[in-house]
Amino acid sequence: MRIRPIARNDLDGLQALAQQAGVGFTSLPDNREFLAGKIESAVNAFEERTARDDRLYFFVLEDEDNGELAGCCAIEGQVGHDVPFYHYRLGSLAHSSVQLDLHHTIDTLFLSSDHTGDAEVCSLFVRPEYRGEANRHLRSGALLSKARWLFIADFRDRFPDKVLAEMRGLFDDNSRSPFWESLGRHFFPMDFDEADRLTGLGQKSFIGELMPKFPIYTTFMPEAARDCIGQVHRHTRPALEMLRKEGLRWEGYIDIFDGGPTVEAYIDDVRAVRNSCCYPVAVDDAAPEESVSRWLAATTRMQGFTAAWIGRAPEADRVVLTPAEARRLNVTAGDTLRLLET
């Protein structure tokens, strides 16, 4: 398995991923024309033909055995410049009565665009057959998630100070969002799927036009909806855990449709960015293999960026690859790799 930039001939594979992603996966809508535009934007970004505030770096997880796309992930260079980037910010209002000696604090939701200009890691999806520990594709999700940090570390000057990630919120057994049913439905004359589809297509102006500008008291929401605030979909829990291990934390921002948490961090504080190091490459037929690959390697080229697991730790001044690993990463002796111990 290896990570590489998406290419124009990946459209069919990307649409197949979008069809499997399901409800609530806003950044990967099943719309062929939109996906083709997303691919074109990514190709332009990797070729550095895009303005700094409009860069989309989109990667795919490729199964070398059959050439299939097993998953995808992306990095938005900056959010909120062309289209407003909305969240709810969880806050509180204190009410008190001196005469009655009563004090009460109520949770509130404020419509916010506080993350304008931040980078976003997004669109992480792995096909079901490539998940879990019961098959040979162990740690495919980790490969997708962590490779993005090595890319950011390689090209740190292309990114702002902060990074965020939106997590898919809770849905019931009928794929309905209690948060949406309690709140969004009252302001948008459409179903969740339609609002989600429009947002995924970048048509977000209706959010600011239709959502209330005043704080929303969560006490007016039913318990099932309040319980969704800051909680994630069961399929999203592994991704959230990986982000937490990198140092991203929930600071009280949630998705306005499903109530899922937005986690964030300063990029220079992210574990993988801080701890990864570069080594020159050596290639050796006799390089030993570890039983579990704990090291992630990524090239340092913008075009042709590639990331994959390797089977051994670096030595003092170099990293030794097998010929198969060198081919997978498309490197030769003397090239440079960025390494991260996981």
Angle (CA) 197 198 204, round 5°? 140
Residue 87 annotated as catalytic? no
Tell me how crowded residue 202 is: count the other CB atoms within 10 A of its CB. Answer: 14
User: Going by C-beta distance under 8 Å and a sequence separation of 6 or more, which residues neighbour residue 241?
Assistant: none
Report the DSSP pairing between strands 119-126 and 162-166: parallel
Q: What are phi and psi of 220, to 5 degrees?
A: -80, -10
CB 163 within 8 A of CB 270: yes
Catalytic residue among 137, 186, 233, 235: 233
In contact, 39 and 8? CB cutoff 8 Å: yes
Here the tokens at position 218 are 């969560």
For residues 276, 282, 283 and 284, what is the CA-based torsion angle, rounded to 10 degrees?
-110
DSSP state of 220: G
The set of catalytic residues is 233
